[in-house]
Structure 1
Amino acid sequence: MKYISILLLVLITTSCIGGSDLYYQTLKNNETIPSQKGQLDHGKWNALLKKYVNEAGFVDYDSFKNEQDQLKEYLSYLNVNSPQESWSINEQFAYYINLYNAATVDLILQNNMPESIKDINGPLGQVWLKKYIKVNDKDYSLAAIEKNVLQKMGDPRIHFAINCASYSCPKLQNKAFTAANVNELMNLSAREFINSNKNDFSNPSDPKLSSIFSFYPEDFTQNGMTLAEYINQYADTRIAEKDKYDYKEYDWSLNKQ
């Protein structure tokens, strides 16, 4: 009975995610994201990030609230300019990463800056399933954008590029992703996160990793890589191969200045 209940919960949760109708392309094995100009203008989002997010990735939500109308204008712009088959894959990555991050900030502002994003209610008690992000005037959840689009696009660096408004998340970059910079900025995001205090490599033979690596193990070990091999691409201190790693407790407190 216990396993039936778990199965039903998984099925219900999966059905709540949605997003399977959103357009995206997938990277082929070992393909890298090209750097080329796109057609979308992320300037409004870039200006807001420069003004209200510091170099450490923490957000001045109190001041950001004064320009929430500008944020909503940007999200409205993304709503009516959704990914098309004619778009390059780098433009699609930039679109969905910015959409996720901007919608997360908007969600925090809508809910008067709670102590944690997890304090915001949603279906099955999960904020990630709350459908409030508009694309082509249809509502989607954060889970839909992450799990049914970005993860399926095939580049695990998205886990370092999107920010869930929490202390243990990768930092919110204070510049917008664009078709021209998305590969470079995803590399920077991966390197900064892996070498930050979100991981503990003080003992490289027995490191303590961010729980992000336990949340999405298959993403980081695709193409036959081990977890250590993936991390060591970006780590200043190389970690040892282990059958099982220890993970740091995740801090869901709000990433506010």
Structure 2
Amino acid sequence: MLIRRHLLLLYCQLLTTVLFGQTTPKAFNEATDAFMKAHVDGGRVDYSRLSKSGADLSALYKQAGATNLAGASDAEKKAFYINAYNVAVIHDVVQHFPLKSPLDQPGFFDKTKHRIAGQEMTLNQLEKDRLLNTYGDARIHFVVVCAAVSCPPLASFAYMPDKLDAQLDERTRLALNDPTFIQVNRGQKKVNVSKIFDWYKSDFTKGGQSILGYVNGFRREKIPNDYALGFYEYNWNLNGR
């Protein structure tokens, strides 16, 4: 019954877009929330099912392009762009399904253009220009999900401006306390972390902070500062189910 209500809400939001040509960040975020609740489970996406019956995804993707951000607050824009990134990734995987990895599709991140809030951009441009460079918030790395197994798990909800800070903290804590994401070997006094921390090192080391210092800021069980730091190989296999 709950999923039916979410899908009805999604339908109403999408119908508004079709009828009036534009939509608001609030309408898109609410429609995305309904979609994520219906199609994401345990951080995994049923791409096979969506490839056979993905009309709601196609309409949601178009809604991302039709969203009008004029007058939107920073929090509204930030939440919108996070949700738009995740929707665009899922849409592109489904468009080229079956894929074993997003990297099997050339230009997936840096060549394919997506219409987001009326502007054409790649996923890399959306992530870096609209989110990371604009807000300087490293927690964004734990909520934009690139369809790979080694990504932080995709949330089964959308990000909302009125609770965005708490959601970002929650998802960052979830990733940084996950033993498969932060791999601590106390016998060898070593910790292996995601290549995300290597690729985007400057995002985590502002003000002279170390990567380990950033990680410990969100961990329940702190990692000693004398542990050796390494980076495990990124698993680019698709995060499907």
TM-score (norm 1): 0.77
2:165 counterpart (179, 183, 199): 183
Query: In the alignment, is residue 90 of structure 1 matched against residue 79 of structure 2?
Result: no
CA distance in 1, matches of 2:184, 2:68: 41
Q: Which structure 1 segments of 5+ residues have no match?
A: 1-37
Amino acid at match of 2:237: S
Match of 2:18 in 1: none
CA distance in 2, matches of 1:139, 1:132: 6
- Pairwise CA distance, 1:242: 5.3
Query: In the alignment, is residue 149 of structure 1 matched against residue 125 of structure 2?
Result: no
Larger helix share, 1 or 2: 2
Q: Which structure 2 segments of 5+ residues have no match?
A: 1-23
TM-score (norm 2): 0.82
How many residue pairs are counted as aligned between the two chains? 214
Instruction: Report the more deviating stretch, 244-253 or 156-165.
Output: 244-253
Secondary structure of the residue that 1:201 maps to in structure 2? strand
CA distance in 2, matches of 1:243, 1:219: 21
- Pairwise CA distance, 1:236: 2.2
* Alignment check: 8 A CA contact 1:201 1:237 kept: no
* Alignment check: 8 A CA contact 1:210 1:247 kept: yes
CA distance in 2, matches of 1:82, 1:163: 23
* Alignment check: 8 A CA contact 2:149 2:235 kept: yes
Name the structure, 1 or 2, with higher relative contact order (CA <8 Å, separation 6+): 1
Larger strand share, 1 or 2: 2
* Alignment check: 8 A CA contact 1:94 1:179 kept: yes
* C-alpha RMSD of the superposition: 2.0
1:43 counterpart (8, 16, 30): 30
Match of 1:221 in 2: 205
CA distance in 2, matches of 1:160, 1:167: 13
Aligned-pair identity (%): 27
Secondary structure of the residue that 2:190 maps to in structure 1? coil
Match of 1:250 in 2: 234
Match of 1:107 in 2: 92
- Pairwise CA distance, 1:154: 0.9
Query: In the alignment, is residue 140 of structure 1 matched against residue 124 of structure 2?
Result: no
1:200 counterpart (164, 179, 183): 183
CA distance in 1, matches of 2:190, 2:92: 38
Instruction: Report the more deviating stretch, 233-242 or 247-256.
Output: 233-242
CA distance in 2, matches of 1:233, 1:206: 18
Amino acid at match of 1:89: D
CA distance in 1, matches of 2:34, 2:208: 40
Alignment deviations for residues 72-93 of structure 1 (CA, whole Å, 9 cap, x no partner): 2222222122433x32211111
Secondary structure of the residue that 1:245 maps to in structure 2? strand
